[in-house]
Amino acid sequence: MTNENPVAIVTGASSGIGRAVATRLAADGTTVVAAARRADRLAELAASAPAGRIEPCELDVTDHAAVRAAVDDVVARHGRIDLLVANAGVMPLSRLDAGLVEEWDRMIDVNVRGLLHGIDAVLPHFTRAGSGHVVTVASVGAYAVSPTAAVYCGTKFAAWAITEGLRQESPPGIRVTTVSPGVVTSELAEGISDPLAQEAMATYRAHAIGPEAIADAVAYAVSQPAEVDVNEIVVRPVRQR
């Protein structure tokens, strides 16, 4: 980020990619508000960073009012918000004929509505400041669909489209990046309840890379000069086809 003492909010920071991103940004000098639902994980993350560098924020991104309040609180306390990393996501894969409608709804709520809630919360502050950066963590599933992933990929196509639309609509000074990971070590696949999808995942996820690879990509995008807007980055294991 181009400002001194930047402040970021990272959603889904209690595990996996979000945790790695929060840790990396904090190490690079950003004050990070680490948001997720599991407060115990966030407290442990905050304790692992230099004092005050990572602030825990218990937050459910599906709650629009709560997301707005969290971002407004950051601005009230720090006088600024420079970066949203919209990373929170869930991936309970299944075929459509399994009929797991509640799981489809949850993916839409977290992966799409959660992203929109974050954008809505930061945009007024970014517009007022004339600067700011939204990084959306989408997926290689934003570019291609595969069996058992129709709804998940649908949410990631949506995340890509929403982020690209934000880029086109944003006033000058606001930067927008979609980072799309391939298979990364995390807790994401633990949310799969469907036995067929679980089995397929064991093979698919065999060559996962560490979440630090995605944190590196985010760090690259946010550290560019103010006039440089890195719009899309895809990072996958070299063995993933």
* Active site (catalytic) residues: 152
CB of 191 to ligand NDP, least distance (A): 7
* Count of CB atoms situated within 10 Å of the CB of 29: 11
Q: Is 137 in the site for ligand NDP (CB under 6 A)?
A: yes
Name, in order, each residue with C-beta under 8 angstroms of 188's C-beta and a sequence gap of 6 or more: 16, 89, 90, 91
Which of these ranges, 13-21, 127-135, 164-172, 223-231, lies near ligand NDP under the rule CB under 6 A?
A: 13-21
Q: Are 34 and 88 in contact (CB under 8 A)?
A: no
Q: Is 84 in the site for ligand NDP (CB under 6 A)?
A: no
Q: Is 21 in the site for ligand NDP (CB under 6 A)?
A: no
Q: Is 62 in the site for ligand NDP (CB under 6 A)?
A: yes
Q: Is 15 in the site for ligand NDP (CB under 6 A)?
A: yes
Burial class (CB in 10 A: 0-12, 13-18, 19+), 136: buried
CB of 98 to ligand NDP, least distance (A): 19
Which of 70/174 has CB closer to ligand NDP?
70
> What binding mask, one character per residue, do residues 176-215 give for ligand NDP by CB under 6 A, x or -?
-----x-xx-xxx---------------------------
- Identify residue 120 by its one-letter amino acid code: D
CA distance 96 to 39: 33
Cα angle 152-157-162, degrees, rounded to a multiple of 5 = 125
Name the H helices within the chain: 16-27, 39-48, 64-78, 101-107, 114-129, 150-169, 195-204, 212-222
The only residue of 7, 8, 9, 18 in contact with ligand NDP, by rule CB under 6 A:
18
Q: Is 132 in the site for ligand NDP (CB under 6 A)?
A: no
CB of 40 to ligand NDP, least distance (A): 9
> What binding mask, one character per residue, do residues 24-53 give for ligand NDP by CB under 6 A, x or -?
------------xxx--x------------
Please state the length of the chain.
Answer: 241
Name, in order, each residue with C-beta under 8 angstroms of 60's C-beta and a sequence gap of 6 or more: 37, 66
Which residues bind to ligand NDP, rule: CB under 6 A?
11-18, 36-38, 41, 59-62, 87-91, 110, 137, 139, 181, 183-184, 186-188
